[in-house]
Amino acid sequence: MRKSIYVKLVLIFVFIISISNFIAFFSFYFTTAKKLREDIGTETVKLSKQIKDICESKNVPESSIEALLNDSYYNVKFYDNLSQIEADAALARFFDENALKPLVQSNSESNEIKLNTRAPFELSITVTRINTSEGSKYFIVYPDLAKSLFGVRFLIMRVNSLALIIGVIMTLLAAMIVTKPVKALKAATHRIAGGDFNVNIQNKRKDEIGQLIDDFNIMAKELRGIEMLRNDFVTAVSHEFKTPLTSIEGYTKLLKDCKDDSERNEYIEVIIEETRRLSKLSSNILQLNRLENENISLHKESFRLDEQIRRIVLLVEIKWTEKNIELDIDLDEVVFNGNEQLLYQVWLNLFDNAIKFSPTGGKISLSLEKEGSAVKFRIKDNGMGIAPEQKNRVFEKFYKGDRSRNSDGNGLGLSIASKIVDMHGGEIKIDSEVGKGTEICVVL
Ligand SMILES: Nc1ncnc2c1ncn2[C@@H]1O[C@H](COP(=O)(O)OP(=O)(O)OP(=O)(O)O)[C@@H](O)[C@H]1O
Ligand SMILES: [Mg+2]
């Protein structure tokens, strides 16, 4: 059987309380017993003096005194002479005969002797002579140890039992307070393990368990966010894949029954273009995934940044010449230490956007300059621009602005660029006005 933390705590607490009570009982009993015995001895002597006084002056009968002390912690017994004491069989359990001898022989008026008895402690006993008109008599006074010590023992045990009962009740309550949040955490963890991230534990505590619950709630919130992102990502990926695939399927069907060569070539062109889109999409997704999982260690080397940008301009020449775009290039000579391959992707994506979102006959300016230890790259177009409410979203994966929805692309270019700039400790800023153009600035 798996014991719950509640049962364990209660058992531990009860065990501790019992042990401490047990120790307290014995230490108290043995330390106070010595003092108690001394007090009893003093009381015995005092009592015997009082009895002697009463008997000699007030002439109170012995039977009355014996009756008076009957229920007390002291025993009193009268004798006509000392030999009677020696012969008293009832006393034999306390004394051995030799113990009384010195007392009897000394014949003094009052004597206190301490005797080792069979009880665990010494016993004080007094033997006193009284002188009445009828002659001398003796009486002895001795404490009823069994009665007095039993009384103390009983008292301690009652206090102990009460402490034990109160302790157990408080333990049950304390264990409940301690285990309640743990139980809540257990239930919440169980729900998360089952895939339900909609969990929030109420928490008023400020102690370690309270902090644990706070962290747990943060974790659940993060997981909720990740789950939402994952769902969005899957939806977006499937959507982006579906469009070119549907078009490939459609054109392939058309191709099957097509006899006209020029039409066939047209269909084949579309299929090739869509396949290229698919291939770009999958490589972009793969790259973004690699960048986000930081699988790429940032291998840095020094290279000419201005030359890299010039190479890109030449690479996509066909695109900007097709649209009859005027270029204004002003690149300072800059040697930069970074990952050449990744940064290539940044300039390419930014330039690709500028061309894509520029009108035919538009103008694009590119500039690169050094600003202290930083490098500033600027790309400006006079294209359609980005609406203010979309400016912050363009870096999201698969985000495409409303008016660029039908344009070629999957909305991954800026996500990849910003991630790479981020990895270089840089910053990317957008300044744009709808209908006027966009300026993107990268500071590394
Ligand atoms: N220079 C720009 N002018 C106007 N809008 C832009 C410009 N650059 C980016 N955008 C807007 O930001 C969106 C996201 O850009 P991003 O480069 O991430 O995606 P994309 O170009 O649509 O697709 P991909 O880059 O994956 O081919 C674009 O769809 C567009 O709406
Ligand atoms: Mg793009």
Which CATH number do you get for residue 138? 3.30.450
Q: At 390, list the tokens.
A: 């979309």
Residues 32 and 85 in one domain: yes
| Cα-to-centroid distance, 396 and ligand 2 (Å) | 12
Question: Please, what is the Cα angle at 75 between 74 and 76, to 5 degrees?
Answer: 125
Whole-number mean pLDDT of the chain? 83
Q: Is 136 inside any structural domain?
A: yes
Q: Is 330 inside any structural domain?
A: yes
For ligand 1, atom 30, which residue shows the shortest CA distance? 401
Q: Is 179 inside any structural domain?
A: no
| Cα-to-centroid distance, 430 and ligand 1 (Å) | 12
3-state helix, strand, coil in the chain (%, to 5): 60, 20, 25
For ligand 1, atom 17, which residue shows the shortest CA distance? 413
Q: Are the CB atoms for 77 and 139 separated by under 8 Å?
A: yes
Number of residues written out for the chain: 444
The number of folded domains in the chain is 3
What's the pLDDT score for residue 118?
46
Cβ contacts of 184-188, under 8 Å, gap ≥ 24: 184/213, 185/212, 185/213, 185/216, 188/216, 188/220
216 CB contacts (<8 Å, ≥6 apart)? 185, 188, 189, 201
Residues 268 and 315 in one domain: no
Residues 242 and 355 in one domain: no
Instruction: Out of 131, 151, 171, pick the residue that ends a domain.
Output: 151
Q: Is 158 inside any structural domain?
A: no
Residues 283 and 328 in one domain: no
For ligand 1, atom 27, which residue shows the shortest CA distance? 409
For ligand 1, atom 7, which residue shows the shortest CA distance? 353
Q: At 127, list the tokens.
A: 């033997």
| Cα-to-centroid distance, 345 and ligand 1 (Å) | 14
Does residue 438 have its Cβ closer than 6 Å to ligand 1?
Answer: yes
Residue 429 phi, psi (nearest 5): -125, 145
| Domain hosting residue 359, numbered range | 300-443
| Cα-to-centroid distance, 168 and ligand 1 (Å) | 70
Q: What are the pLDDT digits (tens) for 165-212?
A: 888 898 888 888 888 888 889 999 999 999 888 889 988 888 888 899
Q: How far apart are CA 235 and CA 143, in angstroms?
A: 96
Q: What are the pLDDT digits (tens) for 333-382?
A: 999 998 888 898 899 999 999 999 999 999 999 999 998 889 999 999 99
Does residue 414 have its Cβ closer than 6 Å to ligand 1?
Answer: yes
For ligand 1, atom 31, which residue shows the shortest CA distance? 401
Whether residue 106 is predicted with pLDDT greater than 70 in this model: the reply is no
Residues 272 and 315 in one domain: no
- Which ligand 1 atom is nearest residue 358's CA? 3
Q: What are the pLDDT digits (tens) for 376-396?
A: 999 999 988 888 888 888 888
Q: How far is CA 292 from CA 40, 224, 391, in A?
A: 87, 19, 22
Q: What are the pLDDT digits (tens) for 117-175?
A: 444 456 677 778 887 777 778 888 887 766 766 777 778 788 888 888 888 898 888 88
Q: Are the CB atoms for 430 and 386 separated by under 8 Å?
A: yes
Q: Can you give the CATH number for the domain in which 264 is found?
A: 1.10.287.130
